[in-house]
Amino acid sequence: MVAVVGIPFDAYSSFMLGAARAPAQIRDVMNSGAGNLCSESGIDLAARTDFIDLGDMDINGESDAIENIEATISEILNRDCRLISLGGDHAITYPILRSFHKKFGRLEIVHLDAHPDLYDTFDDNRFSHACSFARIMEEKLASRLVQIGIRALNQHQKQQAERFGVEMITIPHLEKAASTRLAGPLYLSIDLDVLDPAFAPGVSHHEPGGLSTRQVIEMIQQLQAPIAGADIVELNPKRDPSGITAMVAVKILKEVAARMLELPLGLT
Ligand code: MN
Ligand code: MN
């Protein structure tokens, strides 16, 4: 079973709020009639009984959001579901990974992002969306962290990456992504700002020079290791008046779900 859950949380965004409205926006676009739920490989998610939408989780305030997300995700994973979470800002990935670690042990993480999100702390907040992968690596929640598409690396985050043994594939070396061997199981974290703002303007942090929608889709389709879980984060509907970025999120959701269903994990 592959389940989708929305996490409408953006309180730990450092620059601009708005990502909390993303799950609702993604569903609106998905159900708008503008397209169907078929993946490019021909999996029709609308016809699959092993693909379900659990709706949005309740976020009760900021103070216990991290604990709340972790508890809710654990509950879902204990139903033997694999899970695609819709953000929300990237801060949600840390509590999600705590839950996945309890269920699956140390996963290999593939992280698509313009930014490494490895700050030790940002704006005095250790749970900021700019810090999630520092927390994940400190707690040894992953056996590997492969970051792809990075193009805003400063000295502090470079040191953090070295300290944690992060395998970072920056934009000038993007061709290395194709030759990276992954054993799995994987956790796939997709920050939509990995895409060039020309393709996905509806994100809080515009970082030009990014991937095309086609490149991201092909990376998903070429994954050969089973995927235990994924998230699609940082859609900001406030910056997406045409709805194109939400449509990109839906497209990525379909391709990730199809790839998960194509590569079974051995769960029911
Ligand atoms: Mn980013
Ligand atoms: Mn990010």
Task: Grade residue 29 by pLDDT with cuts at 50, 70 and 90.
Answer: very high
Instruction: Give the span between the Cα atoms of 246 and 252, in whole angstroms.
Output: 10
Closest CA to 203 of 236, 250, 232, 231: 236
Q: Tell me, what's the pLDDT at 62?
A: 76
Task: Grade residue 61 by pLDDT with cuts at 50, 70 and 90.
Answer: confident
Q: Determine the distance separating the centroid of ligand 2 and the alpha carbon of 49, expressed in angstroms.
A: 32
Q: Tell me, what's the pLDDT at 265?
A: 86
244 has a pLDDT exceeding 60: yes
CB 195 within 8 A of CB 211: yes
Closest CA to 138 of 99, 94, 90: 94
Query: Does 167 reside within a domain?
Result: yes
H, E, C per residue of 1-22: CEEEEECCCCCCCCCCCCHHHH
The range of the structural domain enclosing residue 252 comes to 2-262
Query: Does 267 reside within a domain?
Result: no
Ligand number nearest CA of 93 is: 2
Ligand number nearest CA of 89 is: 2
Instruction: Give the span between the Cα atoms of 98 and 80, in whole angstroms.
Output: 16
Residues, the chain: 268
Number of Cβ atoms within 10 Å of the Cβ of 154: 12
Residues with Cβ within 8 Å of 213's Cβ and at least 6 positions away in sequence, in order, are 195, 199, 200, 248, 251
Q: Determine the distance separating the centroid of ligand 2 and the alpha carbon of 21, expressed in angstroms.
A: 17
Q: Determine the distance separating the centroid of ligand 1 and the alpha carbon of 210, expressed in angstroms.
A: 11
Ligand number nearest CA of 204 is: 1
Q: Residue 54: which CATH number?
A: 3.40.800.10
pLDDT in tens, 119-128: 999 999 999 9
Query: Does 193 reside within a domain?
Result: yes
Pairing of strands 107-112, 186-191: parallel
97 has a pLDDT exceeding 60: yes
267 has a pLDDT exceeding 70: no
Strands (E) across the chain are located at 2-6, 51-56, 82-86, 107-112, 142-150, 167-170, 186-191, 227-233
Ligand number nearest CA of 132 is: 2
Ligand number nearest CA of 88 is: 2
pTM above 0.95, yes or no: yes
* Chain-centre distance for alpha carbon 46: 22
Query: Does 174 reside within a domain?
Result: yes
The greatest distance separating any two alpha carbons of the chain, rounded to the nearest whole angstrom, comes to 48
Query: Does 93 reside within a domain?
Result: yes
Average predicted confidence (pLDDT) for the chain: 96
Q: Determine the distance separating the centroid of ligand 2 and the alpha carbon of 12, expressed in angstroms.
A: 11
Instruction: State the amino acid at position 1 in one-letter form.
Output: M
Average pLDDT estimate for 254-263: 97
Q: What is the dihedral of CA 91, 95, 97, 100, to 10 degrees?
A: -150
Ligand number nearest CA of 117 is: 2
Query: Does 206 reside within a domain?
Result: yes
Query: Does 213 reside within a domain?
Result: yes
Higher pLDDT, 112 or 184: 112
Q: Tell me, what's the pLDDT at 80?
A: 87
Q: Determine the distance separating the centroid of ligand 1 and the alpha carbon of 89, expressed in angstroms.
A: 9
What are the two backbone dihedrals, phi and then psi, of residue 58, each rounded to the nearest 5 degrees?
-80, 125
Instruction: Give the span between the Cα atoms of 61 and 45, in whole angstroms.
Output: 33
Q: Tell me, what's the pLDDT at 138?
A: 98
Query: Does 268 reside within a domain?
Result: no
Degrees to nearest 5, angle at CA 232 with 113 and 86 = 150
Q: Tell me, what's the pLDDT at 268?
A: 38
| Structure-token pair, residue 55 | 């709706």
Q: Tell me, what's the pLDDT at 9?
A: 95
* Tally of domains in the chain: 1
What are the two backbone dihedrals, phi and then psi, of residue 90, each rounded to the nearest 5 degrees?
-70, -5
Helices assigned H by DSSP within 12-58 = 22-30
pLDDT in tens, 191-213: 999 999 999 999 999 999 999 99
Q: Tell me, what's the pLDDT at 153?
A: 96
Instruction: Give the span between the Cα atoms of 221 and 217, in whole angstroms.
Output: 6
